[in-house]
Amino acid sequence: MDLEKRKRFLTQIKRVKSGCHEWLGTIYKNGYGAFWYENHQQLAHRAAWNLLKNESIPAGKCVLHRCDNRSCVNPEHLYIGTRADNNRDTMERSPRRTPFAQVQKARELVASGVSQRKVAAEIGVSQAQISKYVRFKDRVLR
């Protein structure tokens, strides 16, 4: 029976270059996907955790995005955290929310030996921001 739901879920995603699985179904105003599941409309990324990881979400915990893309339901881009983690993520990433693809590009350039200062100039963010992308590398699975 879960297989059926899983199948239904998987027909509603689009795999994009960044590695994200974008939700093609309903998207809430806040950017999260919605999936009708177990008699409720649920957040699609939470349903992804249940259905694709085959794990339940511990009570009171949140499913968070490593990729900063709220409509993404790739289980590899999701992790379990607390509400506090969620708030902290939001604070770390705002006010400047850089598209994930750009963050990846910055990481690649730095990894290939380009100085953080140069990468910052090219992408148009501060060097401190580049340093942050590099330091938080372990947050993103590729």
Calpha distance 73→19 (Å, rounded): 10
Contact window for Zn ion (CB under 5 A) among 12-20, 32-40, 44-52, 120-128 = 12-20
- How is residue 38 annotated by DSSP? T
Per CB under 5 A, does 72 bind Zn ion?
yes
Instruction: State which residue, 78 or 120, has the beta carbon closest to Zn ion.
Output: 78
Instruction: State which residue, 74 or 98, has the beta carbon closest to Zn ion.
Output: 74
Instruction: State which residue, 21 or 129, has the beta carbon closest to Zn ion.
Output: 21
Neighbours of 41 (CB within 10 A): 12
Of 139, 117, 142, nearest in space to 130 by CA: 117
Instruction: State which residue, 13 or 130, has the beta carbon closest to Zn ion.
Output: 13
Of 105, 109, 2, 108, nearest in space to 49 by CA: 2
Calpha distance 85→124 (Å, rounded): 27
Candidates 9, 13, 20, 75; binder of Zn ion (CB under 5 A) is 20
Count of chain residues binding Zn ion (CB under 5 A): 6
Of 64, 56, 60, 59, nearest in space to 80 by CA: 64
Closest approach, Cβ 117 to Zn ion, in A, equals: 28
Closest approach, Cβ 11 to Zn ion, in A, equals: 18
Per CB under 5 A, does 77 bind Zn ion?
yes
Binding site for Zn ion (CB under 5 A): 20, 67, 69, 72, 74, 77
